[in-house]
Each structure stands twice: as structure tokens, then as C-alpha cells.
Structure 1
Amino acid sequence: MAAESAGAIDPMSQFSVNPVVGADWTLFGHNIAFTNSAAFMLVILGVLWVFMLGGMKRQLVPGRWQAAVETMTDFVANMIEANIGPKGKKFTPYVFSLFMFILCANLIGLFPLAVIPGLHAFTVTSHITVTGVLAIMSFSIVLIVGFWKHGLHFFSLFVPHGTPFILIPLIFLIELVSFLVRPFSLGLRLFVAMTAGHILLDVFASFVIQGLNSGGAIGPVVSLLSFVMIVGVSALEILVAAIQAYVFALLTSLYLNDAINLH
């Protein structure tokens, strides 16, 4: 959050990608500074690495840490089994990595680091460049698996069983467009959900500050109500963070099911 002279908060400043080191670093005319976005991606990867260390102990009677890791891996494995079947087992590591990265990115972005001067949590999934790359990765894997496994027969995915012959060209076109829209909707859904929630939090935070600075009897009331809304929205954002990670992983597994089983 960036407080301005009037005590207002710019809700969009939290999404700015700023250099941490190497602001003047260039390569072939392109700036390659190490940014806050890259820094938080490394933080996310570090958190995931530490978290997974607890699941590698392989104790006969698992502790809480190992149990938490096994719970998450079983959750994703069961989702893959339910949506793809035994053939989808080989994709469990990818979907698990996708789910955990998005979940950690969403949750870390909610940490109230701004209480420490000079620090501010950065939500990497609030940038379409990040969510778009994740979506393109999943969509590319679907295409590669589909054509590798079925060849040109993969196009039969766009013609549902029982389609009247005269309607095949129209249905094929509609299904093809719907299929090609998938990576856009996959990336946009996560991007919009995370961006909207963080903007809402900053807007209510601005109301708290402006209410305290306005004076009069109504100002503290507005501030108190806004603070209550911040608490409620924060709780909702934690839920949204988990749901969006699940939805992204779920849709990826469903798209993989189409590529593998042509359903």
C-alpha cells in the first residue's frame, strides 16, 4: 500500500513491478533487473522446497509436517484419479506442482508485510503474465499429449458422438473455438480473482485512513466499519486463494482427460 500526502491509498500501486537490484542491468537492449515479482517467486519456491522436505522423511508413523505433505499429495492424486483415471498418474507431479505454486503464491501475497517499513507482499498471480504462462504451459501439454497419443484423430474431440452429419462443420467450429479459448479463460480467471480481492482490500484500507483523518463524528464510524470489512474480505481472500488454486488444477486435469481419453 502506498500512502499519499492526503492519506489516500493507491490500490493499483501494489501491482507495480519494481527492480530490487540491478535497475540499470541490460541484455541486448532489454532491462533484466531483479524485480520484486522475481523475488517473491523465489520466496514461493523456497517455501515449497522447505514444505516438501517434511514429506521426504518417510517415517512409518508420520508427524504433523509429513502428514500435511502427504495430505496435499493424496488430495491431488485423488483428483487426478477421479478425473483422468489410471492413465493420468504420470501427470500428478505436474498438477501437484501447479496447485502448490498457485496456492503458495496466493497465500503469501496476503501476508501483512506492510506493517514492516519498506516491505510489501507481492502477489505474483495478480499479473496476467504469470497466470498466462501457467495457462499456456498446461494448454501446451494438453496439445502435445493429445496429438502424440491420438494423432489427427485428436480432432474427433471437437465432434461429439451422435452429431448429425449436416451439423458436423458447425459443431466442429464451435467446439474448436471453445477449446482454443481455454488457456485465456484459465489464465484470466486466476488473474481477475486475485487482482479484484487485493484492490478491494486497499479500497477499504483507504476508507479507514480517510475516516480517521476526516474528523467529526462520522469519520471513526466509517473507519471502524471499513476495518470490519477488511477482516471479512481477508478471510474471504484466504478461501478464494485456495479455491482458485484448486480450480486451476482441476481444469488442467479435466483438459488432460480430454487429451488422453477423448471424452
Structure 2
Amino acid sequence: MATEEHAGGLQIHPMDQFIVKPLFGDGPIEWYTPTNVTLWMAIAVLAMTALLVLSTRRRAIVPSRGQSVAELFYGFIHKMVEDVAGHEGLKFFPYVMTLFMFVFLSNILGLIPMSFTTTSHIAVTATLALLVFFTVTIVGFIRKGPGFLSMFWVSSAPLALRPILALIEVISYFVRPLSHSIRLGGNLMAGHAVIKVFAGFAGAMGVASVVPIAAIVGIYGLELLVASVQAYVFTILTCVYLRDAVGDAHH
């Protein structure tokens, strides 16, 4: 170990920040082991509870700053769900709102120095994406029955092309969880890795470190934008998928 540390040269390990570690001890990680991932997911849930529940408990006519922020998020997501998924999609507004706030707060908390970005892990984003996938599929069959499968049959296309298009649509449907999760996790992981690389250069360049530090400031600002945009994209895609399940439903 000592030989590796004194081998010389600039050593930057940008992926070390994504290592899952147990909170207590150094033993193996089991499914029940508290880790840095579970810690920061719990912090995101507590932050969401504080913003949406505690700050709005008085529901004043003249809102406090916390209530104003909560109402802003509420109105924004409510309009998104109604515009994209339609009136029937509003029944799933609490789920979509919770999903957005968890992803958004996890992204923002991950930008705090020495924190852990839970949404940079595919295990987390894939779980969220699979929940959306199974929710849409189950709701689609409950509401439409076998008619839910009609979304794969492009009736407006020439008859000869319909089987081919149906196969493409089926493949596209089952790839949704993969693209849904990788888009979020990949973007956050890449941005944090770049910041770590520039931080490594800043620590090794002495006086000239002003250049990588300036780059870090610029990238950090960009990451704030990415954290917000990726939460929005993840949520609006959820609404688009919900539209497949609840759209054109007549009861």
C-alpha cells in the first residue's frame, strides 16, 4: 500500500466518490446494512418531509417562504401531470410529485461537499424506473384490459409494415426502464466525475490552481442546472408513460 502511495505522479480517482460504504465498521455489505447510500436517501426523504409537510402545516393566507416554495413545486408538477397525462393522470399526481421531489432533492444534496449522490447509482435510478414501468403496465391492463396492447399496433401505418412496427414498439417499451434510469444516473455520475478530476488538478498545480478552480465553479453551476433538468426529464417521462396507461380511457 505504501509503495502505491509513493509511486509518484498525479493520482486522481474520480470514481471513488461513488463507492458504497457501510456506515458502521468495515464488514461486508448485506441488503440490511446501513450505508452512505441509505443515509443520503433518508436525508432526502427528511428534506422532502420538511419542505412539503412541516413548512405547510399552518397553510397561511400569506405564505411563509417555505410554504411559497412548496406551493411553487406543487403547482409546477400539478400542471405538468395535467398537461401531459391528462385529467385522468391527476389521480397519480401524489406519486409523481413524490417521485420528482425525491429525485430533485437527491440531486441537489449530492452537490454538497462530502455528501453522496444517490441518484448517480443505477441501482437507485433503475429501482425508480422499474416502479414507473410496472405501475404503468399494471394500471394500463387494469383500465384498458387487452386493449392496452393496441398501443403496439400502429393502425395508421401500411398493413405490411404493422408487424415490424409492432416489434419495434414492444422492444422500445421494454427498454424504457433502461433508458429512463441510465439517463439520470449517467448524467449525474459524469458531471461529478469531471468535478473530481478538476479538483485533483487544483490540488496539484499550486499557484496555477486558479484555472481548474475557475473551471470547477463553472461546472458546479452547470451541475445545478443538470440536477434540476434531469429531475424534470425523469418526471415528465413518467407522465408520458402514464398517458399510455390512462389516455383515452372511458368509464
2:221 paired residue among 235, 257, 262: 235
2:18 paired residue among 12, 15, 18: 15
Displacement of 1:31 = 5.9
C-alpha contact (below 8 Å) 1:18/1:35 kept by paired residues: yes
Is the counterpart of residue 129 in structure 1 residue 130 in structure 2? no
1:165-184 Cα distance to aligned partner (Å, 9 max, x none): 22221111011111111110
> What aligned pairs does 1:121-200 form with structure 2 within 5 A after superposition?
121-200=115-194
Stretch moving more, 128-137 or 150-159: 150-159
In structure 2, the CA distance between the partners of 1:25 and 1:176, relative to structure 1 (3 Å rule), is closer
Is the counterpart of residue 260 in structure 1 residue 249 in structure 2? no
1:76-106 Cα distance to aligned partner (Å, 9 max, x none): 0000010011111111111111110011101
Q: 1:36 is matched with which residue?
A: 36
In structure 2, the CA distance between the partners of 1:42 and 1:88, relative to structure 1 (3 Å rule), is same
C-alpha contact (below 8 Å) 1:55/1:65 kept by paired residues: yes
1:15-66 Cα distance to aligned partner (Å, 9 max, x none): 011111265488xxx4632111111111111111111111232112212211
1:190-234 Cα distance to aligned partner (Å, 9 max, x none): 01000000000000001111212xxxxxxx33x111111000000
C-alpha contact (below 8 Å) 1:25/1:32 kept by paired residues: no
C-alpha contact (below 8 Å) 2:155/2:162 kept by paired residues: no
C-alpha contact (below 8 Å) 1:25/1:31 kept by paired residues: no
Q: 1:215 is matched with which residue?
A: none
Aligned-residue sequence identity (percent) comes to 40
CA distance in 2: counterparts of 1:161 and 1:54, whole angstroms: 50
CA distance in 2: counterparts of 1:49 and 1:159, whole angstroms: 43
Secondary structure of 1:145's counterpart equals: helix
Secondary structure of 2:23's counterpart equals: strand
Instruction: Give the TM-score of the pair, scaled to structure 2.
Output: 0.91
> What aligned pairs does 1:72-151 form with structure 2 within 5 A after superposition?
72-112=73-113, 120-151=114-145
Secondary structure of 1:59's counterpart equals: coil
**Aligned-residue CA RMSD (Å):** 1.8
Q: 1:48 is matched with which residue?
A: 48
C-alpha contact (below 8 Å) 2:99/2:235 kept by paired residues: yes
Stretch moving more, 173-182 or 31-40: 31-40
Is the counterpart of residue 59 in structure 1 residue 57 in structure 2? no
In structure 2, the CA distance between the partners of 1:204 and 1:104, relative to structure 1 (3 Å rule), is same
C-alpha contact (below 8 Å) 1:24/1:33 kept by paired residues: no
Displacement of 1:9 = 3.3
CA distance in 1: counterparts of 2:244 and 2:55, whole angstroms: 34
CA distance in 2: counterparts of 1:242 and 1:83, whole angstroms: 19
C-alpha contact (below 8 Å) 2:140/2:245 kept by paired residues: yes
The aligned length equals 242
CA distance in 1: counterparts of 2:190 and 2:133, whole angstroms: 25
